[in-house]
Copies of this chain bind each other. A is one copy, B any other.
Amino acid sequence: MKVAIMGYGVVGSGVAELLNKNRANIIKKSTQPGLDLKYILEVKDFPGDPNEGLIIKDFETILNDSEVGIVVETMGGMSPAYEYTLACLKAGKSVVTSNKEVVAAKGYELLKVADQMNVSYLFEASVGGGIPIIRPINQCLAANEIKEIAGILNGTTNFILTRMINDAMSFDDALKLAQEKGYAEKDPTADVEGHDACRKICILSSLSFGRHVYPEQVYTEGITKIDLADVEYARTWGGAIKLIGRAKKLDDGRITAMVSPALVEGHSQLAGVEGVFNAILVRGDATGDVVFYGRGAGKMPTASAVVADVIDIAGQCNSKKLIAWEDGGDDYVADYKLTQTAAYIRCQTQNMVAALKEVESLFGQTQPLTRQDALEGEFAFITGLMAEKDLVGLMERLTSAEVLSFIRITDY
């Protein structure tokens, strides 16, 4: 059986490198006598590259070559990655991808086609880079009912927040540093606005709960509004602000899912995750909390996850499907505002006495927070647990202070 790679960028070239380097090991774990790289589809030329001779420009060459049994899609972006993937699956080729955008938007459809064609569509590399997470959820936790899943899913935003927390850098300076280090794109929107984390929580919840969740169904809030005052209050409270993607199963079979900054307590396994690292917490009814930690991005970690999927497909004795889930539907994701949560709230007032009195009468018992160098008229507190829509309602009724920050608090 032969392998083709579509997209010879950072990840794709890492895949080629690992496939060559681990050839003997891969064949040992495989049911195939050989498993060689035959084509690399790439618009650019790579003169002098060791794989220069494999580079082709025409997708049809891969599609029409019956020797090619596994296609690695590391092109990124929706189109033509989606169309090529669909065509390959329909042609009876298994596809392995690191493309979270395609999986999050089209996973259900592509898995269904893979199933019909008796081939596989695998995407271990789409979440958590080199952290094994898709396969452990799918297999190791098979005897569990997963109740909740939450994680630091985006390394760029975690790098920015870490610099804000450890070095008191402003968001803008930390973003600039991330861009200089190559952790953030020139246009950082997908990362800092939470879209990347949103795609990943879609994939994780689809897998964990068995029905597809689409990005537009997930409330998504980025980190651009996080202020150093919030970072400092979080520290005095005994925790840290992290961008958390999470999904939870409800008793009625539906789920809630969201991406937003959240306060994580200091003793949480998520609190100590620094820099570009990712961590994913899976809460199962039998296992309790299990956390997977590692590099969430990068050439070789991501490539190693892709190659592990390739090995898995090559090691199957027939092409039975490894992953499958059902369609979601419009009503599957419940309004996140019905979720119970505690929250951190920072306010500004002209009349501290009146404001604190009003907060007490509206919110009942709260935990006041203090920080060094608090501004004149500034105060912050932690609320009790209530439905988010009730919290929002109370904030709207507050007249003697302006709410500057509202950050949810996690229970993991």
Contact = CB atoms under 8 A, between A and B. Distances in A.
A391 interface: no
A301 B318 contact: no
A161 interface: no
Contacts of A300: 285-288
A152 to B, nearest CB: 12
A68 to B, nearest CB: 20
Given A132-B140, A267-B272, A294 B301 contact: no
Interface stretch (A43-51, A227-235, A305-313): A305-313
Interface of A: 14, 18, 22, 25-26, 29, 124, 130-132, 135-136, 139-144, 267, 269, 271-274, 284-295, 298, 300-301, 303-305, 307-308, 311-312, 316-318, 320
The copy count of this chain in the complex is 2
Given A135-B135, A269-B293, A317-B318, A143 B18 contact: yes
B130 A290 contact: yes
A298 B290 CA distance: 13
Given A135-B135, A320-B317, A141 B304 contact: yes
Contact of A294 (B132, B290, B320): B290
A143 B26 contact: yes
Contact of A130 (B287, B301, B317): B287
Contacts of A287: 130-131, 294-295, 300-301, 304-305
A286 B139 contact: no
A18 B300 CA distance: 38
A139 B136 CA distance: 10
Contacts of A307: 142-143
A208 B273 CA distance: 25
